[in-house]
Structure 1
């Protein structure tokens, strides 16, 4: 048997690669980020970075990266680096905040693999806050209730409100501190911090208003505050009635952009003050006489309200026990409060008047207060003394026309008797006279004097008592006719006269002396 020999051969077999593997992306989804103000050509930040593995190794094998989707025109990808670029004109996060694409890895054999690509547009502070229509927080129901006295007046007729009429906020002066007036709301299309809005009052000015054309002066005020986060405008101080407040409020976002809005607030007066008189009672004096129109005095009331609410009108109210026998001689100017007298004022008919004056404002409803007015009638010496208690009258041509009242053309006569033996200071009679004028002024005080019989009779000047002051003799003078004068104490005194007839009564007397030489005489006649 022959020995066998063997050889070992090494055979190298080269397996030629064929394109049987698609390129593999290193993630199933990618997230990109780009600022909305990025210019064209800006690379995106990707997470994770794009990497591609293709197991095929044949000569000339290659792959490309592509983007597909609606926004593929504004983004491109570098196949070699996997970097994605923004290639559009402009981004606006407020319009489109995210783009959704498909990342495609394609080899030269058209084998592909895909992954989702979400591109987020990063917000930049490119939008300032924008104010929206204000929401009024004050309402008639909340602030005024059913009290009609606090109803706000209609301002549609005030021409100077025309520019502000649409946005004007009307509130009453009585709105207390802490009351919410309106809410100024602003929106910001930016996101997160950039869209976080804070409110602040930049300035506040005020000026008064009325229907007149007078110049208005604007001053800085501090009557309102604003809640930082909500934009609610709140009353922070006592409001001035009939004033405009222009409150300039800013809305500032987290990036420092801001806008402004002016809240125009009209504070109207409400009728919350009652007219008040300057005095608790008014005392006046007026001289009696006949008047066409004469001013006695004035009453004055003040009302702290404004406009119609502070427009005061006056009215006389007579007391229920006022006399109906005489015409009331006073009237009142309803606008000035002047008390005027008209017609005849006679102290002898009525020496004083008392009545009330009511001061009412023109608000709705009207508020009013009253005061008492006392008018004393000052006496003048316009009445003569008038005798009474006499026994007879005689007609005399020079008798004053107004005396006596029931006998205009007669003079009163008093009749008296006195014994011829009456001692000195014997009271014979008393005459009486009255004067309707006031005694306090002296016009109504009467004094008496006697004319005639000066050595026989006298009169008490105060009480009118007539008495003897000398001896009487019936045989010599049996009757005396005297004149009694009554005079008042007026500055220009007035007088009246009466007749006093005194009859001396005879008394039988014993003869104490011989009147003839003989007791008997004889005479013979032929």
Structure 2
């Protein structure tokens, strides 16, 4: 066997003793045992010999570090997964035996936010969630994981965890400015309100369409503008609900209530209660007598609706 040689050691009394000498380093992971036969022969004629079986077991030394099956593990998981959900599983092997080959897992140098969201099982290498994931807060985590054997050797790998979006945010409507009251003689296209509509989700979940409910001479483009002429005498104010609907399934909706008051314009002439008044007066009626009372009304309000006679 090339790993061993036989050397003869001669003692002071002239006797010789065989010694088994190790010629090269052993590797238990390649060969864990050796079966040798030692033969002793005398000098007679014919010679006689005897043999003995030598069984050599190679004990393990911690000379192998753990090795991960991948240098980078990848996973895609949805936000809002319940705590305890499996994210991924890392695996490392160690060629040594016994405790030297027993591998335990842990996170490497990672920030506290990772510990707040994920946990790794030291025995199985399973990475699971422990806290709520929010795509809108952070959509990717790259974490370091460590495998350590019983002798202290370590190995490292990376795990890239991508968080996918769920439709968990309703659209938000902000009224940046509102011009109210609006003169009733304002032209079509006048901007009544500036709006900001936002949905924190992404993709189709964050695509928003808007609509108005209620009868109102207003439209969205995307400002709130007059779509047709106002008439205070028909409606002194308009109350409407603006709805923003996202593209998720199921869709989420945000609403905002808007009240627009119409400011009077002097667009109505006074109207007499009769088109013609006929009065028969005696010729001897005293000076200063009331001959007839006429009445006129004006649909406008305030000073615009106060009628004077002449």
Does the CA contact (< 8 Å) of 1:301 and 1:312 recur in 2? no
Counterpart in 2 of 1:203? Answer: 109
Deviations 1:101-155 (A, max 9, x none): 2333333344333333221122211111000149xxxxxxxxxxxxxxxxxxxxx
User: 1:130 and 1:430 mapped to 2: Cα distance?
Assistant: 110
User: 2:266 and 2:209 mapped to 1: Cα distance?
Assistant: 34
* Counterpart selection for 2:243 from 341, 358, 383: 358
Deviations 1:467-500 (A, max 9, x none): xxxxxxxxxxxxxxxxxx3xxxxxxxxxxxxxxx
Does the CA contact (< 8 Å) of 2:212 and 2:219 recur in 1? no
Does the CA contact (< 8 Å) of 1:314 and 1:332 recur in 2? no
Are 1:81 and 2:13 matched, yes or no? Answer: no
Does the CA contact (< 8 Å) of 1:283 and 1:373 recur in 2? no
User: 2:83 and 2:202 mapped to 1: Cα distance?
Assistant: 24
* Counterpart selection for 1:380 from 265, 272, 284: 265
Counterpart in 2 of 1:128? Answer: 65
* Counterpart selection for 2:147 from 228, 235, 251: 251
User: 2:250 and 2:168 mapped to 1: Cα distance?
Assistant: 10
User: 2:57 and 2:42 mapped to 1: Cα distance?
Assistant: 28
Find the residue that maps to 2:63 and give its secondary structure: coil
Find the residue that maps to 1:203 and give its secondary structure: coil
Deviations 1:269-302 (A, max 9, x none): 32112224458xx894311125252210134455
Does the CA contact (< 8 Å) of 2:218 and 2:225 recur in 1? yes
Deviations 1:248-282 (A, max 9, x none): 11111111111100111112332112224458xx8
User: 2:207 and 2:173 mapped to 1: Cα distance?
Assistant: 11
1:421 CA displacement = 5.6
Are 1:431 and 2:297 matched, yes or no? Answer: no
Counterpart in 1 of 2:74? Answer: 168
Find the residue that maps to 1:94 and give its secondary structure: coil
Find the residue that maps to 2:39 and give its secondary structure: strand
Deviations 1:360-411 (A, max 9, x none): 23434431133333322211112221223133xxxxxxxxxxxxxxxxxxxx
Counterpart in 2 of 1:177? Answer: 83
User: 1:419 and 1:311 mapped to 2: Cα distance?
Assistant: 84
Deviations 1:225-258 (A, max 9, x none): 2222222212233434243211111111111111
TM-aligned CA distance change 1:195 to 1:264, over 3 Å:
same
Gaps of 5+ in 2: 9-15
User: 1:91 and 1:249 mapped to 2: Cα distance?
Assistant: 32
Find the residue that maps to 1:430 and give its secondary structure: coil
State the aligned residue count: 296
Find the residue that maps to 2:292 and give its secondary structure: strand
Counterpart in 1 of 2:55? Answer: 118
Counterpart in 1 of 2:12? Answer: none
CA RMSD of aligned residues (A): 3.0
TM-score normalised by length of structure 1: 0.50
TM-score normalised by length of structure 2: 0.82
TM-aligned CA distance change 1:249 to 1:170, over 3 Å:
same
TM-aligned CA distance change 1:107 to 1:297, over 3 Å:
same
Are 1:415 and 2:278 matched, yes or no? Answer: yes
User: 2:206 and 2:191 mapped to 1: Cα distance?
Assistant: 22
Counterpart in 2 of 1:443? Answer: 304
For 1:86-125, list aligned pairs within 5 A. Answer: 86-87=22-23, 89-108=24-43, 109-125=46-62
Find the residue that maps to 2:36 and give its secondary structure: strand
Gaps of 5+ in 1: 1-71, 135-163, 206-218, 323-327, 392-413, 450-484, 486-526
For 1:449-464, list aligned pairs within 5 A. Answer: 449=309
TM-aligned CA distance change 1:426 to 1:103, over 3 Å:
farther
Does the CA contact (< 8 Å) of 1:312 and 1:361 recur in 2? yes
